[in-house]
Chains A and B, each alone.
Chain A
């Protein structure tokens, strides 16, 4: 996600379009990115640290963006 202090013209354009489409009551829209990574094997702390490193150095530009990393179990794994 863009940091709160960085202007998000795309989010603003979305917000301006909403009332025109009959969606009222939205005070603010911020647009971000989501990456879904499927890892080989279980996601332990070491793997998670590597993913955070990946996010910090490559997937996000920390000059203007914040990121957070979440672990989700895929359907295949939960069966």
Chain B
């Protein structure tokens, strides 16, 4: 059985093709989902891709959060559906309150685009199972509003519960609190991060192939759940 991974296109999404390609390279079946359609077409997992949904109007991800497809995704994510938010997708997950905190303007006010080293802090989520805790990976980072913020109590809680999934290495690129690049929900099925693993899945176009394990991890997770 092939794992079906939905990738949502919003008006202004940019990276849904790359995400679909990454899913395919990982041996799963990409399924195109549409922001205006409530149906998730029986997928086993969902990716919210990067880009500038709705022109980033109001706040990044704020309008996408109220789209028909997100209503279903929020409901299913609460019931355990694996959901990965990359960059703009991470912003949507925070706006939806599926993940705590928020993403704000980079502290230096510049758009940043570079290959970024990260440390895997939690290899026990639906999207990081095929990594090992402590792995160091390099994937592209490209955003203007990637500063992760939350109040001290929330940050302490995330640390105590092991819900910081990725941390920036080699210098904090955007002023994120505690160098946080990605977080997960308590159940570990919802993960969001600012860097782009889908751009690091083959030697021809990426700096590394370090991102591929995200997309193989979800298949591992889905299959394990089926046999459990």
| Interface residues in chain A, defined as those with a beta carbon under 8 Å from any beta carbon in chain B | 2, 5-7, 9-10, 13, 58-59, 61, 63-64
Contacts and interface: CB of A to CB of B under 8 A. Distances in A.
Contacts of A64: 102, 104, 149
B65 to A, nearest CB: 9
Contact of A7 (B66, B95, B149): B149
Contacts of B97: 63
B62 interface: yes
Nearest to A10: B105
Interface centre among A2, A13, A58, by most chain B C-beta atoms within 10 angstroms, is A58
B95 A61 contact: yes
Contacts, number: 37
B157 interface: no
B109 A10 contact: yes
B150 A63 contact: yes
A2 B95 CA distance: 15
B59 interface: yes
Contacts of B228: none
Nearest to B152: A5
Contacts of B78: none
A9 B109 CA distance: 7
A59 B105 CA distance: 17
B114 interface: no
Given A7-B149, A9-B175, A59 B58 contact: yes
Given A9-B108, A10-B105, A13-B109, A58 B62 contact: yes
Given A5-B151, A7-B175, A9-B175, A63 B107 contact: no
A58 B66 contact: yes
B102 A63 contact: yes
